[in-house]
Structure 1
Amino acid sequence: MDETEQATTITDFDDLQELLEAPAPLKLGPGDRIPPTCTLGRYILEAALTPAIRRRLRAPGSLAVIIQAPTPAWVGPLREAAADLTRWTQVVARDGSDRTSHRPDKRNSWIVDALTVGGRALGIAAAPDRLLPSTLTATADIWITVRPPSPAVLRQAIKAATGTLPRQLPDGLGVGLDFPELCVAIRSSTSARSCIRRLQDAAVARNLADKSVATAAPISELHGYDAVMPWATGVIRDLQAWRRGEIPFDSIDSRVVLASEPGLGKTSFVRSLARSAQLPLVATSMSAWFTGGPGYLDSVLRQAEIAFAEAAALASTGLGGSLLLLDEVDAVPDRRGLEDRNRAFWTTVIQHLLTILDGSQRSTLDGVVIVGATNHGNRLDPALIRPGRLGRIIEIGRPDVATLARILRFHLGDDLKGEDLFPLAELGVGASGADAMAWVKRARHKARAEERDLVLADLLEEIAPRDARATEDLWRAAVHEACHAVVSHVTNDGVVRSISIVGQGRSGGQTVTMSRDVALSRAAAERRVMTALAGHVGETVICGQPTSGSSSDLAMATKILVDVHAAYGLGDTLLHRPTDNATSLLLMDPLLRQAVEDDLARLRATTTDLLTEHRPLIEELARLLVSERQIGARAFIRFVEEHLQGRRVRTDRDHPEATHG
């Protein structure tokens, strides 16, 4: 039909061919039951009409009305149901299937002609602002938002189809099912019980709500999410208050974007949140919007609407809300970087998404918690992360050592109970929670293949596979790290947490200690210097000569002594000087350089004497390190105590009189 043509029909059939091919109207006999195709549209429309709207529809005069359908599939049934409300001059019903004519700039003259002569115009669409004539959406006197079928509506439809009114419907029955699925499940001349069963089966087949939620861990058992946990616990608390009617939903901080590198568990966290908050989860993404249809603009927008409508349907059926995951949200580009040839397409997509998120009076998102997920938080359009839309971005970082140890323990369950996992976490620091889960899976697989229980060495092999260093190099690395550990222990400098000769990058091993001192005295600072020098000195004492592997240790020892003399007030002067660049300070101050050099020489001699005294312990510890590759805190303490106890026993046997003071 030409845009200037006068409209004389009461319905806008944008595709005449579709009308000609439509099936003949269903004819019912006196005793026939009424199928849901004839009742569902009328029942959900009646449920949406308030007494005030009914009175206004019955009153004479010009009127512009919009009916917002739950999904595009409901547009046709609602058009038929609306015919009984009043006599319409013009009806524009659009489901978005026609890219050419289902647009705001089409058929505006029809609306103008109808309203200016005192007529009544009706628009029906799931996305009125995008699909209906702009003249109608801008001047609507009544805007009716139709919700998906409630349990009461389904009971009516089942009674009409079967002749039996179900006493009670299971919670959430029909949630997420669109008009076609509901009609196929509610069949005439069958029993009400069979209709209910088919509705339940259809919901399972539809797989709307993510069933992985049932197997997700509660957020109380998660580790590595310190940044996002306060938000999540706040949402759970506020949802409970909203369900009790104590606060409105718009007072909940219900929208956020989770950003991290790949593999840090954003989607796993969302599933756990859904479980802990008792929310059904609907997961969607930009790629799903493209693959759910032909990929044209209207198809993409329609798929986006369907995703939000599904979440809204779940939230509006007495389940206490829903959770919508917008994965890959960075696939919606920042408009500031768009090329001219793509600008029109993406601008429309972004604007439509913003319209859905805006939360205006027409919104159906009450009760929907929305979480975006992205690997690139810096690529989001600023308009997306404003308050009221997706809110703010929360960055999820890689787990630290303590957190990684807790993640390993979680995935291990009852395996390796009582084992110290901190040394393994030290070796794997920088890995993600997904990496930790993969380590445990592969270690268990190896143990099962060999028909034995899981042992710590299995997990160690996954975290840090054996390197190809020569035996001499491994021994030197073991001596180096054993010296650090022994000096730290015997001088009471710190608590040894782990010792390892697993190569990481340019490092051939590492010893992790926790300092006992909060504020350093001169003696405590010198103990720390001795621990740092121990690797270099030990290579000299036991291996004959040091190597360049002590470079970072010497830098640490030098920096501590520069701080002692120039910043801490523990030397011969109270003058404070910044020591951020210790090298420059040493080059400019020969007196400071000489003082540091003298201290290094003195403490090196003391460390040499200490290592010479404890050489048997160091060599035994180094041999154990070559065999085990890593030693945890408890194992280290047990080893040292057993060695010292054995040494006392040997000494007593050599000198019996020593026991008789």
Structure 2
Amino acid sequence: MIRRRPTSPAARLKRRLRPKRPASLKISARHVRRTERTDDDDDLEYLDAIPEYGAGTPRILLAKAVLAAAIPSEVKKAFKARLPIIVLVDAPTVVWTEAIAAQASVLFPGVRVISATKPPARGTTPDCPPPTSPILAVTPNRSWLSPAAVAAADFSFRLEVRPASVAQAIASFCGRKSCQVTASDYASLDLTDLAFAMRPNSTPEECVERMHRAIRSRASATPTDRTAELSQLAGFGEAAQSMRLIALDFVSQREIGGNIVLPNILLYGPPGTGKTTLARSFARTVNAPLIQTSVAEWFTSSAGHLGDVASAAQRFFEQATALAPSVALIDEIDAIPNRETMDDRDRSWWTPIITGLLVQIDQLRARSRGVVLIAATNHKSKLDSALIRPGRFDLHIQIRGPQTEKEIEGVFRHYLGDDLVDDDLTAAIRLAGKPTGAIIEAWVSRARDEARRDQRILSFSDLVAIIAPADKRSPQEIEEVALHEAAHAVVACALGLEVISASIIDTETSGGVTELGHGSSIFSRRELECRAVAILAGRACDERLSRGPTSGAASDLWKSTALVLDIHSRLGLGDTLVSRESIDAAHLSLDPHLRSMVEQDLRRLMNEARDHVERLEQPIRALAARLVRHRVVLANEIHGCLGGGFGERSSVSPSETAP
């Protein structure tokens, strides 16, 4: 008897889409025993009814398993009854969209399947046939579909790649009865990655291990090998602790499976404090792929036209979504200008870019795909207010750089690696002051270059020579600078101000510096005048203990004048309550009365500084001698020279300097 092959359109399409497979892989899905029982088991039974389900490539097996488990039972009934309904399926990526659409045509022969894998051509609107029969529309982005179809949809659901579906496909492909798979085994992998992990003559365990390798490869593609995990990161203080808590939430939600909902993060702080490093460390800690971009990259990766830049930004978000759970970093986001400060011409060009970026961020948040969006900036105040509002960037984390000696040493040890392991870095830390992580990295790199140039290993003296090069000033000039800075520190202590350190290291900006703490955020008039006296003490010391006033006190006069001017003009602490917020030193020449008040106060405070210098000459000279020997003295050493009898120290806080 001759058996004729079915000739219906559905049968021909099914034969065309069903690839051949090796005979060794012949196994029916009805013999595969599932190892976990979920609410979706009834949906998987629908898959078992498909003849010869096991006969397929990994891509087909995965697509069929995921689709059959995702379609609600009421939708299946409507499809069987050929009801004229419209069903929208949100696929994870374009690759999944193509595979799901192909398999939907096989699973549901009477359904019209539409797939949208790219935006419609410019100037056109996507069309949709009238729903005279069931329609299934699959896309990773609903804006690519017909607006009429989206508005008239009867059912819509998101396609979730569940462990049971992946386990079903792997077990069937490998000819096994069972397979253990968890959500973390394939997190951040696309359909192509999963298909590449499933190879002939492999066990399920080997397939899962290949998935693990793919995850590790994607997670370390951008961060360098020197990027430490958050637990090993030094010099970030509270910022690192905040990121650790988010990392714990990320990992726990990924282990559970399903949606990962975490806040978008804005990292801000001075240049070189390690914002990019912190983002990379976060990605390495959670073992997730890091997708990094910048506004400059959007321009350089395209022709630079408006549409090209917008498309480049969109590709960044699409890639982050495709690799989810992932970490997406927009570096130097302050390159996106603030619309409030732009002129009309710039605003007309930038508004589509900014609006598109805001829409992409909102869509990323709405999808809840497990993408942690991080933005980094040196200038938070310059960002568009709509960009950093809650709902777009919920968590703002300030990075100050290493503050304590322990944090500074930790950053040094990180960049030194196996070098100088047995050396005490106290002297180097003393000379370093308050460097950023980038400065420390540059110091270590330059020290290594010097040692390499001389064909020897790195020594501690190499590092010190880079941090604080030999002083080329004369002994007399060094002594004068030391007396000047010692006067700042000693008088400040006598007045109860916090002194963090004093240094006579010669830099491009100053020959020495004394660092004073800010103290409280609210000051009385007397507290501000005490700070002015401490600043003027340097010039008073030049007069009393050195060769007389010099140009080295120019910055002191500017700072003390600014303080007294604020007392009278901006803070309401003088003879008038009228506040002049925008006033600066240039207004003194325009207001003789204000100039007279400021001058009188400065002369009074200068006399007070002279009295303190005369009274404290001995401790000033003792501290100056220590400065000449060590070049840098810290707070405890300053109090040691004074016998601990002056002032009360407050907690360490952001500081100002008195040259």
Identify whether the pair has TM-score above 0.5, normalized to the shorter chain: yes
TM-score calculated relative to the size of structure 1: 0.68
Corresponding position: 1:127 with 2:133: no
With over 3 angstroms needed to count, the CA separation of the structure-2 counterparts of 1:511 and 1:191, relative to structure 1, is closer
Task: Choose from 106, 112, 125 the match for 1:105.
Answer: 125
Instruction: Check 1:351–1:324 CA distance in 2 against 1; reply closer, same or farther (3 A cut).
Output: closer
> How do residues 192-341 of structure 1 correspond to structure 2 at under 5 angstroms?
192-207=204-219, 215-218=227-230, 223=235, 232=243, 235=246, 254-260=263-269, 262-274=271-283, 278=286, 280-285=288-293, 300=312, 303-304=315-316, 306-312=318-324, 314=325, 323-327=327-331, 329=333
Alignment partner of 1:454 out of 445, 454, 460: 460
Give the drift of 1:632: 2.6
Residues 1:72 and 2:116 are matched in the alignment: no
Q: 1:288 to 1:137 in 2, by over 3 A?
A: farther
Q: Residues 284 and 307 of structure 1 are in contact (CA less than 8 Å); yes or no, is this contact kept in structure 2?
A: no
1:158 to 170, 174, 177: 170
Change (3 A) 1:72 1:57: same
Match of 1:369, as an amino acid? V
| Maintained 8 Å contact 1:70/1:309 | yes
Shift of 1:203: 3.5
Shift of 1:194: 3.5
Alignment of 1:395-414 (within 5 A): 396=398, 398-399=400-401, 403=403, 405=405, 407-413=407-413
Whichever residue aligns with residue 373 of structure 2, its letter is: I
Classify the secondary structure of the residue corresponding to 1:26.
coil
Does the aligned pair in 1 maintain the 2:539–2:553 contact within 8 Å?
Answer: yes
1:18 paired residue number = none
1:268 is matched by which residue type in structure 2? Answer: T
> Partner letter of residue 19 of structure 2?
L
Task: Find the aligned partners of 2:478 and 2:153 in 1 and give their Cα distance.
Answer: 80
Measure, in 2, the Cα distance between the counterparts of 1:28 and 1:55: 31
2:364 to 357, 360, 368: 357
**Is 1:473 equivalent to 2:473 in the alignment?**
no
What amino acid is aligned across from residue 189 of structure 2 in structure 1? L
1:141 aligns with 2:154: yes
Cα pair 1:90 1:121 within 8 Å, conserved: yes
The residue aligned with 1:548 is 551
> CA, structure 1 residues 581+324, in 2 after alignment: closer, same or farther (shift >3 Å)?
closer
Measured in 1, the distance between the counterparts of 2:605 and 2:357 equals 65
Partner of 2:85: 63
Q: 1:225 to 1:472 in 2, by over 3 A?
A: same
Asked if the contact 2:532–2:605 (Cα under 8 Å) also holds between the matched residues in 1, the reply is no
* Secondary structure in 2 matching 1:403: coil
* 1:562-583: CA deviation from partner (whole Å, max 9, x where unpaired): 9999999x9xxx9888899997
Which deviates more from structure 2 when the two are superposed, residues 178-187 or residues 329-338?
329-338
Contact 1:466 1:502 in 2 (8 A): no
Any idea what SS the aligned residue of 2:396 has? strand
Judged with a 3 Å threshold, the aligned counterparts in structure 2 of structure 1 residues 86 and 310 are, in CA distance, closer, same or farther, namely closer
Secondary structure of 2:460's counterpart equals coil
Structure 2 distance, partners of 1:355, 1:516, is: 41
The residue that corresponds to 1:373 in the other structure is 376
Q: State the identity as a percent.
A: 25
Q: Shift of residue 499 of structure 1?
A: 2.5
Assess if the C-alpha contact under 8 Å between 1:161 and 1:189 holds in 2. no
CA RMSD after TM alignment: 5.6
Q: Give secondary structure in 1 for the equivalent of 2:20.
A: coil
**1:317 is matched with which residue?**
none
Q: Does 1:434 align with 2:438?
A: yes
Distance (whole Å) between structure 2 residues aligned to residue 550 and residue 626 of structure 1? 19
Structure 1 residue ranges without an equivalent (≥5):
1-8, 14-21, 315-321, 642-661
- Maintained 8 Å contact 1:177/1:203: yes
1:183 aligns with 2:187: no
The CA distance in 2 between the partners of 1:302 and 1:598, in whole Å, is 63
Mapped pair 1:43 → 2:65: yes
8 Å Cα contact 2:534-2:609 kept in structure 1: no
Residue deviations 1:243-285 (CA, integer Å, cap 9, x gap): 899xx979x7612433455433222233444567x47353232
Following the alignment from structure 1 to structure 2, what is the Cα–Cα distance between the partners of residues 378 and 565? Answer: 28
Please, what TM-score do these two structures have when normalized by structure 2? Answer: 0.68
Partner residue in 2 for 1:646:
none
Equivalent pairs, count: 582
CA radius of gyration, larger in? 1
- Pair 373,607 (structure 1): closer, same or farther in 2 beyond 3 Å: closer
For 2:201 and 2:504, the matched residues in 1 are separated by: 76
CA contact (8 A) 1:285 1:329 kept: no
Inter-partner Cα distance in structure 1 for 2:355 and 2:531: 62
Distance 1:194 1:605, change over 3 A: closer
**Does the 8 Å contact 1:67/1:124 carry over to 2?**
yes
The answer to whether the Cα contact below 8 Å between 1:325 and 1:371 also exists between their aligned partners in 2 is yes
SS in 1 for 2:207: helix
8 Å Cα contact 1:162/1:191 also seen in 2: yes
Other-structure match for 1:632: 634
Structure 2 counterpart of 1:92, one-letter code? I
Which ranges of structure 2 fall in alignment gaps of 5 or more residues? 1-8, 27-54, 414-420, 644-659
Distance 1:528 1:344 in 2: 46
Of 26, 48, 67, the residue aligned with 2:19 is: 26
- Deviations for 1:33-87, whole angstroms, at most 9, x for unmatched residues? 3321331110110121222332332334212122322211123321222124433
Q: Any idea what SS the aligned residue of 1:61 has?
A: coil
Check conservation: 2:538, 2:553, Cα contact below 8 A.
yes
Correspondences of 1:513-532 after superposition (within 5 Å) = none
